[in-house]
Amino acid sequence: MIRAAVLGSPISHSLSPALHNRAYEFLGIPGRYTAGELTPESALAFFQKARFEEWTGFSLTMPLKEAIFDLPFQSNFEIDPITLAMRSANTLLKVDEIFQATSTDRSGFIRLFAGIEKRRVAIIGGGGTARAALSALDGTVESIDFLLRTPNRSSLLSQIATKSAVNFYTMDHSLRGYDLVISTVPSGAGDAIAQSLDFRIPVLCEVLYNPYPTPLLAKSQSLGSQTVDGMDLLVEQAMDQISLFSGMKFDLDEMRNVLQKIGRSLLH
């Protein structure tokens, strides 16, 4: 039986339990997926204990996606090379007493961006989700521009990109001329951009689904942009976690329809 949970802080808004439990029901397998409030300060003690408990795995949300890399994980965690380079993990699969860490944010982004024209790309923010987007896009475009609130993110971002050039700007940098803009900043951090936006961005990706819609997503939709929203990303990354936790392969289109239906019924 699958026993899994999403961990982070705050966590009460998470729709992951609804998606994962619906997936287990759809697949006809026993499983229980819950949500747990967990801060970086209590993470080490939690995972040391969880190693010896009957867990299948965990989904990580903020701030744990990044904070987990500050734990003394050498003997308890195995991290795949791409995830280690990103220093952002959203998935832990427990194998015996070891947690295998990876990023299904990255694989979800790869599918979401596969059919989108992207000659010029801008990413707003430089945190864990932004780094997953960068890794997913690396090599598919000549260069990627970042709008950062703080410049200290630039060094790690430059190391992640091995095929595409990266450029850094402040948050007031114009978004005019970009084919794809990806907002990865927390709630409220992109509101000033939304207020000043007066032109159509061909494709706007907003990773948040709480609140829904964000001011930036709503403004972009009103201007005629094609939009990819936080529920789209939540579903894509969840499908890969469900496959990892269950050990099953399934039709992605079929599962996507199932999860989108329940996810969007819960948005508010």
CA distances to 30, 218, 222, 228 from 105, rounded to whole Å, are 25, 23, 27, 14
Share of the chain above pLDDT 90, in %: 94
Domains annotated on the chain, with CATH: 2-102+232-266 (3.40.50.10860), 107-228 (3.40.50.720)
255 contacts 242 by C-beta, under 8 angstroms? yes
Which residue from 127, 165, 158 is spatially nearest to 143, judged by alpha carbons? 165
For 102-124, write each residue's pLDDT tens digit. Answer: 999 999 999 999 989 899 999 99
Whole-number pLDDT of residue 255: 98
Residue 219 CB: number of other CB atoms within 10 A?
21
Q: What is the pLDDT of residue 151?
A: 84
> pLDDT value at position 111?
98
Mean pLDDT by 10 residues, the chain (268 residues): 97 97 98 97 94 97 93 81 96 96 98 94 97 97 95 91 96 97 95 96 97 97 98 98 98 98 93
Task: Compute the C-alpha angle 41/101/161, nearest 5°.
Answer: 100
**Close Cβ partners of 227 (under 8 Å, ≥ 6 residues apart):** 203, 204, 205, 206, 217, 220, 221
* pTM of the model as a whole: 0.96
Q: So what's the pLDDT on residue 74?
A: 60
Sign of CA dihedral 134, 135, 138, 141: negative
